[in-house]
Amino acid sequence: MSERLQPGDTAPAFTLPDADGKEVSLADHKGRKVIVYFYPAALTPGCTKQACDFTDNLELLAGAGYDVIGISPDQPEKLAKFREKENLKVTLLADPDKKALDAYGAFGEKKNYGKTYMGVIRSTIVVDEGGKVERALYNVRATGHVAKIIKDLGV
């Protein structure tokens, strides 16, 4: 399990396939602010709520200079189904090897009903135009999280 990121850290670089299998890198967004959010699994209730909330607020965030990228350990094919079923507009990236999840501290030990296991820690990292971490939020709730980010960022 890697260290959690802190504001001021350089955001780890990544290049991952999107829902269509096209490679997308953090570097593609240089000069723009990027909200990178990590979620456990496509097509699950909490992750669907969060992805729909980001999609519903995408124009508002884009207007304030933010791009939004969602990353999960799912395969691109599952992400494509997720995007189609829920009519999602956010960029969804596949990280089945969990390299980006690990680099961002979004994969690690979790507890659920008294059991400890390794899994995706629902996290949101805001990266500034220069590639530095502006905010690092871990163990966030799926519901209400997007509204909170918008409020915190003053969008």
Task: Give burial (CB, 10 Å; 0-12/13-18/19+) of 110.
Answer: middle
How many degrees, rounded to 5, is the angle at CA 123 between CA 118 and CA 110?
25
Q: In this structure, what token pair is assigned to residue 126?
A: 């805001």
What is the per-residue DSSP string for 115-141?
EEEEEE--EEEEE-TTSBEEEEEES--
Q: Are strands 66-72 and 91-94 parallel, antiparallel or unpaired?
A: parallel
What pLDDT is attached to residue 2? 62
pLDDT at 123: 96
Active site residues: 47
Q: List the one residue out of 32, 13, 15, 41 whose CA is nearest residue 104.
A: 13
Instruction: Identify the pLDDT of residue 139.
Output: 93
pLDDT digits (tens, 9 = 90+) for 20-63: 999 999 999 989 999 999 999 999 999 999 999 999 999 999 99
Give the DSSP per-residue string, 25-43. Answer: EGGGGTTSEEEEEE-S-TT
Contact between 76 and 18 (Cβ < 8 Å): yes
Distance CA 42, CA 143 (A): 15
Which residues in the chain come in under a pLDDT of 70? Answer: 1-2
Pseudo-torsion of CA 137, 6, 127, 123, nearest 10°?
Answer: -30
Residue 37: φ, ψ to 5°: -120, 140
